[in-house]
Structure 1
């Protein structure tokens, strides 16, 4: 009996020791091993309380204009944003909802926490030392941003302006937007707003690009030496591709035209057939096959014919421009793609994709990079919006300007595409992008969206001989790219060229 009692006591003692051991290990893990993480976790109530009392670094545009700063109020320090329309560029800092976009990515630097070790943090708490936050300087030019917001007017959409030489993003405007100064009180209403003001259309929205995508198709054809630029093409009739009919309506006023003119006047038949012929190098030059009277049956209509090789080429060149992969950027960007991954290629889908419809989905940033790539000699610039961190007169550069993450074509092909885009402005649908005394390159797009309306697109750059700015404009449900997005782009480019050298 006594032995049983002793055994039970020993068991209980061992269980207690084991429990205390587990508690000690857990405490050691959280208080020593994970102390640094806990000390910076915004969900930590102590950190959340501390955030109310701590200053936060400013966010400045490239000229030094203050875009965001901490201000002392009766309720303590509060984040103040000078212009609500920049919310989709900067993000916002909220004690209730946390941080978003650049405010989140650079939260540690803006709060002065990045360089603090647990010992430094303890010393600061014991001796009441204030943190030393960094200021964040952006590549954004507030003047160009203001011009973009004004050019959008009341239209939902986005405008992205990039320096094609460096990759610096000069404007990233998205409309509608909301006031981050009132986000805490308005968030429930904002979340239920059908216009989606919380949605950053510049980098997260996916749109059908319309004829602006012909820039990718043309680049692929030229880079593979498939086209004779001097051989004219007759384009007056529609061609049946499976159950789909692709026509020459856009260019019907010029029935006999060069490949460059077909681009400037946005011929769907010429570029739809180009897409189908990309995988048949033995047929080069393909001009005869783009004509009203091809030399024979189209190769994909033969018994053993297939468009897979052509689809693979178009997919490859789209990927070179940045489609189908994450674009390197300070904040996450939705991935643009040329079709849904589960959809098999068919001649009907490929012909529509090649002229800018089908299942194509693109971000405005991606299309700005397409224009910037042509302007940058075929190299796809690595975009960035955070320039440097500054504190006490010293600066830390965050990105190396002039980097590129892909090569879409040879420099010779890019130069030819520059001439195509200049032709589009000088003698094509992009005429409303013209700026007096400056050569401008551009391509319009009118993207059908299935509800009877069209999105209005423009991509381009200026000056064409030494581009300093590249631009993409999307105006939702506005109609013709020539009539809406193009004059909006002209307005922004004209201002940008006057202030950005």
Structure 2
């Protein structure tokens, strides 16, 4: 009896174990897709489908960035076996030492993950390589797109593409080793919009790595989604003309539509051709550009920091009017010098001695603005209080802080806080005379060209601005960032601007104005010249302007390095650009 019971228990045990194994086997073979993939991994290839990058147009829908089909050679190091490296290298025109370096780099990244071995080979080379692909296990081709830049001088505006680094790969799993992303300009600022979404294609391959078709008829494939197209705010014809105006010069031009903050033109000279930073030779060309002594890769319009010189006098005038320390009906007698200390003075150039505000702007009279700077400071109990109030006014014009525009890079300029002078001179040991150079846009003050163009737009608008931006619309999106569409106001009331604008109008349209040009009178340009002292060489030539005087459509800033008086180079260049704007508009 006991033996029979024992036999039954043992039999039941084996039956139960057998059932468990059968159920598990059914699950593995029929229900669980994971094991199905694991069994076939040795005959499957997972091809990442790169999305087509979005296109970029100018404001009139002229194409300024496009794409061209190209191919990347992909490698999975663990799948690479002994191959004829001579045949391989000859197929794609590289040296054996390059082959070894690239393969070792891929192994260092990961033996098991794919990485890009060679980027953006042309269609003919790819076709030749494809015929021999069966000889190179572990390598395969991936269709991509190469960026094409039909206009050769848009490097600072459009930017360029570069290889993703390890930090970016850790931050964003979209990228793998060898992927390209925007490094500067629009390409970088709108990378997430332009790049699209990757897809995946699972293919059956034979022992020679040749495609035998899709796995399960493509059931597990996902399509790549192309990037979004962008319409920029740039007028390509105005941009090209700006490049011509700055040919063989060091400097920049920024032109803004004051009605909405749209950047019409942004030129930095010398420039570079973004096409040279695309394709196989990009690394070699990049090194040449970086080592060029004229710094063509340096975007002077966004990163250049300069004293604003006499263009800053319009801001100080507005602050004094707001604080009621300047009366537009009062005259000042200029004798060629302003003594701010017993034996120290600020000089002036020859002009009519008796001047009011409008005359002082027209002639750019240094003593007038020094005098009113001191009057402003005398209104307050302490210099520190006066300076802090002045500082608040100046920052409301967008100076000394980030512009928060849609460019990837930029600088704040320099606007020292009161603590800087307290620490340098000691509390209560400094006053307006100590920083008198600030009254005429010199001293510790530094400003970027895009900031100064925004100042010009604020004056054109009589006290408000829209943050300058480079993109007008994004495909399938109803609007752009609200930061670019919200109106922002400076601290000076609207009624004060008319007095400064009258002076700026006389600068260009009066025979004694520092930027007088009778040939452009019909455009009703209002401007202000500036000459910034440069301790490292010749003075910088500066000019701000807007037009027309009423209902302005364009506001500009021009900086020409080491060119001397603002009236000599910057003003004629700026006025020519404005003239070109209206000529293009009338076509």
**TM-score (normalizing by structure 2):** 0.67
Distance verdict in 2 for CA 1:178–1:409, change over 3 Å: same
* Distance 1:354-1:126 versus aligned 2 partners, 3 A rule: farther
For the structure 1 residues 279 and 309, does the alpha-carbon distance in structure 2 shift closer, same or farther, using more than 3 Å as the test?
A: farther
| 2:564 paired with 1:479 | yes
Structure 2 partner of 1:453: 538
1:25 corresponds to which residue?
none
Residue 184 (structure 2) pairs with residue 107 (structure 1) = no
Contact persistence 1:319–1:325 (CA under 8 A): yes
Distance 1:154 1:406 in 2: 38
Whole-angstrom CA distance in 2 between matches of 1:166 and 1:189: 38
Q: Which residue of 2 aligns with 1:356?
A: 441
1:144 alignment counterpart: 238
Match of 1:11 in 2: none
Q: Of residues 256, 272, 290 in structure 2, which corresponds to 1:191?
A: 290
Distance 1:423-1:402 versus aligned 2 partners, 3 A rule: farther
Q: Tell me which of 308, 323, 332 is aligned to 1:224.
A: 323
Q: Check 1:386–1:320 CA distance in 2 against 1; reply closer, same or farther (3 A cut).
A: same
Q: C-alpha displacement at 1:218, in angstroms? A: 0.7
**CA contact under 8 A between 1:374 and 1:415: conserved in structure 2?**
no
Q: Hey, what's the Cα distance between the residues in 1 that align with 2:469 and 2:411?
A: 15
Query: How far has the Cα of 1:309 moved from its partner?
Result: 3.3
Q: Quick check: 1:269 aligned with 2:352?
A: no
Pick aligned residue for 1:83 from 151, 163, 172: 151
Range 140-149 or range 273-282, more displaced: 273-282
Shift of 1:494: 0.7
The answer (yes or no) to whether the contact 2:311–2:543 under 8 Å persists in 1 is yes
CA distance in 1, matches of 2:342, 2:555: 38
CA distance in 2, matches of 1:395, 1:204: 30
- 1:70 is aligned to 67
Q: Distance in 2 between matches of 1:491 and 1:435?
A: 9
Say whether residues 1:404 and 2:487 are aligned partners: yes
Larger relative contact order (Cα-Cα within 8 Å, sequence gap ≥ 6)? 1
8 A Cα contact 1:214 1:271, kept in partner: yes
- Alignment check: 8 A CA contact 1:275 1:310 kept: no
Q: Secondary structure at the match of 1:436?
A: helix
Q: Which has the larger radius of gyration?
A: 2
Residue of structure 2 equivalent to 1:299: none
CA distance in structure 1 between the aligned counterparts of 2:493 and 2:261, rounded to whole angstroms: 19
User: In 1, are the aligned partners of 2:51 and 2:197 still within 8 Å (CA)?
Assistant: no
Q: Work out the CA distance in 2 between the residues paired with 1:374 and 1:244.
A: 36
Q: Which of the numbers 370, 377, 385 marks the counterpart of 1:309?
A: 385
Gaps of 5+ in 2: 1-44, 71-120, 123-143, 164-177, 200-217, 423-429
Aligned runs of 1:202-221 on 2, under 5 Å? Answer: 202-221=301-320
Distance (Å, rounded) in 2 between the aligned partners of 1:215 and 1:125 = 68
Pick from 315, 322, 325: which aligns with 2:401?
325
**Partner Cα separation in structure 2 for residue 369 and residue 455 of structure 1:** 19
Change (3 A) 1:399 1:431: farther
| 1:239–1:246 Cα contact (<8 Å) kept | yes
Corresponding residue of 1:120: none
Per the alignment, do residues 490 and 433 of structure 1 end up closer, same or farther by CA in structure 2, a change over 3 Å counting?
farther
Whether the aligned pair in 2 keeps the contact of 1:137 and 1:389 (CA below 8 Å) is: yes
Deviations 1:385-406 (A, max 9, x none): 111112xxx5543145653333
